[in-house]
Amino acid sequence: MRLAALAILCALGSLAISCAADIVPPADNPQSFASPPPGFASATPVAPNAANGEVAAVEDPLQHESGKRGGTLVLANRSDPPAGFDTLRTSSIALHHVAGALFGPGNLVMRCRENMYLVCPYLATSWLANPGFTEWTFTIRDDVYWHDGTLFSAEDAKFWFDLVFYEATVGDKVRAPAYFKGELGDLESVEVIEHSRLRLTFAERNPFFPDILANPRFKIAHPRHLMQPRIEQGEVSISPIDVGLVGLGPFKLEKYDRGSVVSVRRFDQYWEKNADGESLPYLDGIDYVVMPDPFAMDVAFRSGRLDGGARGQGHYLTTQRKAGYLRDLGEDVVFSEMDGGNFRLAFNVLRPGPWQDPKVRRAIALWIDKRAALPTALRGFGWTSPDLGPPTLPVPTHFINWPKFDAGTLEEKRAEAERLLKEAGYAEGFSLGHLCRALNPVPCEFLEAQLSDLGIDLQLQLVDEGAWNRARTSLDYDTQQGRLTPSPIPEGTESVYGRYSENPDAYGKHEDPHVDELYRLLRNALTFEQRVKLWRDIETYLFVEQTYVIPIAESVNVAPYRSYVKGLVIPTEDGHTNTDFSTVWLDKT
């Protein structure tokens, strides 16, 4: 996990006003703090110092050139966006690669473009916390429009938070809350107050709420004026596609041909402007070509039919595929590199089987040769223990503790694994089901080969993307894997490590109340040192003592773009970040 620089500053003391609110600009010029596209003025970005939690200046990744207007960017997309384009139902990159353009890069706040470890204003101009950090008040912008011309309001924001936190019940029909609601805290109330403000009150301290809320997966894609009447009439499962994908982002929907293309075009009423007062976005539009086959994407890119590749596992490049791009295109191609999250094996301990025994789970964790995953499961791009990260990516390492676990030799670890499995009564092994994405079976095959020598028959259950997005939140499978960077700060990880009943998108499926207590202590920590210690306690409990999840290796995701694509904002980690493309322009002349 990573630490946001802003979160460090906030953790240094109990302040009556949040640090995020301290650094946002006055309401009459809110956009000046947002990270600049070409031509923007900006504050000096800061990022955590990997050694001691201090902040240090980092280079602004954007070139300060005047962006050229016009043109349509053509990008591959891994598949059709799932779940009716509903950002409350899935974190799939197949949706969020497209959703940034349609719905915007954030919600009330966003990860700063110039430095994703800072929080910037988006639909809110500023925010304040009470001294106990149980109450947060956001001032909503007054110049944001839905794509049908309706003005966005504080009431719209309240409607979205109500959908996130609460069930919507009409008769015997129930709409479930958002899959990530547990990550945001225990909300007691949300209310609209005077002067276009929204107040959220929590049952306990929530000092890092803006940092958690800035997760780019938490996009507002739910127009109240279109959805609320239909929910009240009983259509509780209504999704954004059912109302025409009317969003708040820099681009509006032109057409969606399932299995073919999602076409979006510039929204002339979009509110963001550059430092010269010029409207964004620069592009006329974006075409997302649905390409489930990564090799078809490679052919299309290298033959000139794509300007950029898809984001997502299976479509990120391998070392061999990258070499092919360089051989054929030379200086005409550039590559984005992002820390891509953790390759892991996660257990469903709510399903009967030998894996309910923590000794069995621990044995599997000790047996896997993590370094062997790099050339195969991670396509040659990645790192694992004892390293703390790739030298080419300035990823803060304050909360990367798990590589320090199990630092002995492979022979020593495997001997202990065999002992534990025998002690648990499974010396002869057993069969273990494994949910696996058909678009990228190589990591699953790696685990299958690894565990076979321990006597465990890993039964791969390959599913397509639609089934994956449904299955990974179910209790129908013994184990699952995949990669996802949940949050740059530890307080934002509860939705992927917490109890299943509160966090159905969690990796491991458990109902362990001690995990709740550990996160409660973390949210109440007042100093940076306390937070580091508590996060270490959480990791030790999750990954060693209980082994609900086995971290194996950290991936580096590589995506290709044509060299004439300018103004790209590539995050240090998490490919869900900066997918609005409002700062992008094409330099084909």
Q: Flag the least confident range among 57-66, 169-178, 376-385.
A: 57-66
Number of independent structural domains in the chain: 2
Is 353 found in the same domain as 484?
yes
Max avg pLDDT among 237-251, 398-412, 431-445, 490-504: 237-251
pLDDT at residue 404 in the model: 65
pLDDT above 60 (res 172): yes
Token representation of residue 122: 């988006």
pLDDT at residue 398 in the model: 67
The H or E element that residue 556 is part of is strand 549-562
Quote the crossing angle between the two packed helices 358-367 and 410-423, to the nearest 10°. Answer: 160
Is 191 a member of any domain? Answer: yes
Q: DSSP label at 491?
A: G
Is 47 a member of any domain? Answer: yes
CATH number at residue 480: 3.10.105.10
The larger pLDDT score, comparing residue 391 to residue 405, is at 405
Q: Give the total residue count for the chain.
A: 589
pLDDT at residue 402 in the model: 55
Give dist(CA 153, CA 156) in Å, integer: 5
The larger pLDDT score, comparing residue 580 to residue 276, is at 580
pTM, to two decimals: 0.82
pLDDT above 70 (res 484): no
Distances (CA, A) of 60 to 35, 214, 327, 411, 589: 9, 20, 30, 45, 25
Q: DSSP label at 291?
A: -
Give dist(CA 74, CA 501) in Å, integer: 40
DSSP class per residue in 433-448: EEEEETT--HHHHHHH
Under the banding of pLDDT at 50, 70 and 90, the label for residue 43 is very low
pLDDT at residue 8 in the model: 33
Under the banding of pLDDT at 50, 70 and 90, the label for residue 483 is low
pLDDT above 90 (res 403): no
Percent of the chain topping pLDDT 70:
85
Is 365 a member of any domain? Answer: yes
**What does residue 227 show for φ and ψ, rounded to 5 degrees?**
-90, -40
Token representation of residue 275: 């430092």
Question: Residue 513: which region, alpha, beta or left (left: phi > 0; alpha: psi -120 to 50)?
Answer: alpha
pLDDT in tens, 319-363: 999 999 999 999 999 999 998 888 999 999 999 999 999 999 999
Is 449 a member of any domain? Answer: yes
Q: Flag the least confident range among 48-62, 140-154, 493-507, 543-557.
A: 48-62
Q: Flag the least confident range among 13-27, 303-317, 546-560.
A: 13-27
Q: Which of 245, 266, 284 is the last residue of a domain?
A: 245
Is 39 a member of any domain? Answer: yes
Residue 201 buriedness (CB in 10 A; 0-12 / 13-18 / 19+): middle
pLDDT above 80 (res 317): yes
pLDDT above 80 (res 502): yes
pLDDT at residue 504 in the model: 84
pLDDT above 50 (res 565): yes
pLDDT above 60 (res 139): yes
pLDDT in tens, 461-473: 999 877 887 898 8
Sequence-ordered alpha helix ranges (H) in 424-481: 442-452, 465-471
pLDDT at residue 555 in the model: 87
**Range of the structural domain that residue 403 is part of:** 340-555
Is 356 found in the same domain as 227?
no
Give dist(CA 90, CA 101) in Å, integer: 17
Give dist(CA 243, CA 379) in Å, integer: 40
Q: Which of 212, 227, 245 is the last residue of a domain?
A: 245
Is 111 a member of any domain? Answer: yes
pLDDT at residue 364 in the model: 97
Give dist(CA 165, CA 168) in Å, integer: 10
522: amino acid identity, one letter: L
Is 541 a member of any domain? Answer: yes
CATH number at residue 100: 3.90.76.10
pLDDT at residue 557 in the model: 92
6-29 mean pLDDT:
32
pLDDT at residue 275 in the model: 81
pLDDT above 50 (res 28): no
Is 361 found in the same domain as 226?
no
Q: Which of 213, 245, 277 is the last residue of a domain?
A: 245
- Mean model confidence pLDDT for the chain: 86
Is 169 a member of any domain? Answer: yes
Under the banding of pLDDT at 50, 70 and 90, the label for residue 554 is confident
